């Protein structure tokens, strides 16, 4: 049966039905808000996870690149190790050849030289009175040449026999070593009336003979190349320095710097890199005696001891040779 418009359906009162409907709407809205909030949180979480995934992918790419670089460096290191081993073997063979040459120089070269000197002396003794001035001059030239050859052979022998120091060094008092050298050179120093000023020198760890040879060569060199008609003046000083470049005996990073300064003739700039080579002479043999091996010996000793040798010079004003040795 049809109800007329405006008639109330049987059941709950109108007010209660409307109130229930409102409550349902509120609940639906709250549920909808919660659902939207949950969806937003989930979306945020998804975005965070996606960001993490991207970061992990980037990190993975970086790790792969690092791995590839490490593999490449390892391969290069292996190649360098092979090259280093080959060079070490070649150096060992070269040192062996040098030792054989030293043996040759000690015997085969010096024997005929000795014969030349003996026969020249015999000529002077037995026939000196019958030789004219020109012949005497020839003998003098032969004697000087033989003497110079003897010095060359001795220099080569010294150079070839310079070895790296052993593992057990001793404490060296540099001041005492320098005083011993000056005592040995006392006659030459007095002849030149040289002034030698020695400052405080530190102690180092090393072997006596090579260090003494190094310093004696440098001091003798400074005395030799003084200005004509002027008194040689030398200043010898030393100090401990810190340097990460270090090899040889002594504490890592500790080096001793020794400066030998003169006021001599100096060295032209274009020759500063050449003077440490074998047989390098900047002057005529009749101007300054020597073989051109002394500074090469110094350089080799410094290298073998794990140190270094350098020079600063101004022509006409003098030179400063700087030696660094493990302390």
| 307 pLDDT more than 70 | yes
Residue 15 is predicted with a pLDDT of 65
Tell me, what DSSP letter sits at residue 270?
A: G
Instruction: Decide: 224 and 285 in contact? Cβ < 8 Å.
Output: no
Which pLDDT score, from 0 to 100, does residue 253 have? 63
Confidence of residue 290 (pLDDT cuts 50, 70, 90): low
* pLDDT for 179: 94
Nearest C-alpha neighbor of 248 from the set 197, 207, 191: 207
First to last CA, the chain: 121
Class of domain 168-326: alpha beta
In which band, very low, low, confident or very high, does the pLDDT at 7 lie, cut at 50, 70 and 90?
Answer: very low
User: What percent of the chain clears pLDDT 90, i.e. is strictly above it?
Assistant: 22
Residue 2: the pLDDT is 44
* 102: Cα within 13 Å, side-chain hemisphere: 16
**Which H or E element spans position 45?**
helix 14-104
- Where residue 261 falls among pLDDT bands split at 50, 70, 90? very high
Burial readout 83-100 (b: 16 or more C-beta within 10 A, e: otherwise): eeeeeeeeeeeeeeeeee
Kindly report, residue by residue over 50-97, the tens digit of the pLDDT: 888 888 889 989 988 998 898 888 888 888 888 888 887 887 777 777
For residue range 92-148, list pLDDT tens digits in order: 777 777 667 766 666 677 777 888 888 888 888 888 888 888 888 888 888 888 887
Domain ranges within the chain, ordered by starting residue: 85-159, 168-326
> pLDDT grade, residue 260 (50/70/90)?
very high
Contact of 217 with 298, CB cutoff 8 Å: yes
3-state secondary structure of 232: coil
The predicted structure's pLDDT at residue 208: 86
The whole-number pLDDT of residue 219 equals: 95
pLDDT at 6: 43
Across all residues in the chain, what is the average pLDDT?
81
Average pLDDT over residues 137-160: 78
Q: Write out the DSSP string of 269-285.
A: GGGTTTTTSTT--SS-T
Q: How confident is the model at residue 286 (pLDDT cuts 50, 70, 90)?
A: low
Gap between the Cα atoms of 87 and 258, Å rounded: 32
Residue 137 or 260, more confident:
260
Question: What is the value of pTM for the model shown?
Answer: 0.57
pLDDT, tens digit, for every residue of 195-254? Answer: 999 999 999 988 888 899 899 999 998 998 888 888 999 999 999 887 645 444 555 567
Cα gap 273→256, rounded to integer Å = 23
């Amino acid at each position: 049966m049809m109800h007329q418009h405006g008639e109330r359906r049987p059941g709950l009162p109108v007010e209660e039905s409307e109130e229930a409907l409102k409550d349902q709407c509120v609940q639906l809205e709250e549920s909808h808000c919660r659902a939207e909030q949950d969806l937003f949180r989930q979306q945020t979480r998804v975005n965070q996870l996606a960001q993490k995934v991207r970061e992990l992918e980037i990190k993975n790419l970086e790790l792969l690149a690092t791995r590839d670089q490490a593999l490449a460096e390892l391969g290069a290191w292996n190649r360098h190790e092979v090259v280093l081993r080959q060079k070490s073997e070649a150096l060992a063979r070269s040192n062996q050849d040098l030792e054989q040459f030293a043996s040759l120089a000690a015997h085969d070269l010096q024997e005929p030289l000795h014969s030349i000197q003996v026969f020249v002396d015999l000529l002077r003794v037995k026939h000196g009175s019958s030789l004219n001035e020109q012949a005497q001059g020839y003998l003098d030239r032969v004697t000087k040449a033989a003497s110079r050859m003897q010095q060359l052979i001795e220099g080569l022998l010294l150079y070839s026999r310079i070895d790296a120091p052993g593992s057990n060094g001793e404490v060296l008092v540099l001041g005492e070593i320098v005083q011993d050298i000056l005592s040995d050179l006392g006659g030459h120093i007095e002849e030149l009336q040289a002034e030698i000023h020695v400052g405080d020198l530190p102690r180092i760890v090393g072997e006596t003979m090579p260090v003494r040879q190094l310093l004696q060569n440098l001091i003798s060199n400074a005395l030799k190349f003084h200005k004509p008609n002027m008194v040689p003046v030398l200043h010898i000083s030393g100090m401990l320095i810190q340097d990460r470049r270090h090899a040889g005996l002594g504490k890592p990073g500790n080096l001793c710097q020794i400066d030998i300064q003169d006021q001599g003739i100096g060295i032209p700039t274009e020759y500063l890199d050449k003077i440490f080579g074998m047989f390098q002479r900047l002057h005529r043999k009749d101007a300054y005696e020597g073989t051109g091996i002394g500074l090469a010996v110094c350089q080799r000793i410094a290298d073998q001891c794990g140190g270094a040798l350098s020079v600063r010079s101004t022509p006409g004003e003098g030179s400063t040779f700087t030696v660094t040795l493990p302390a």
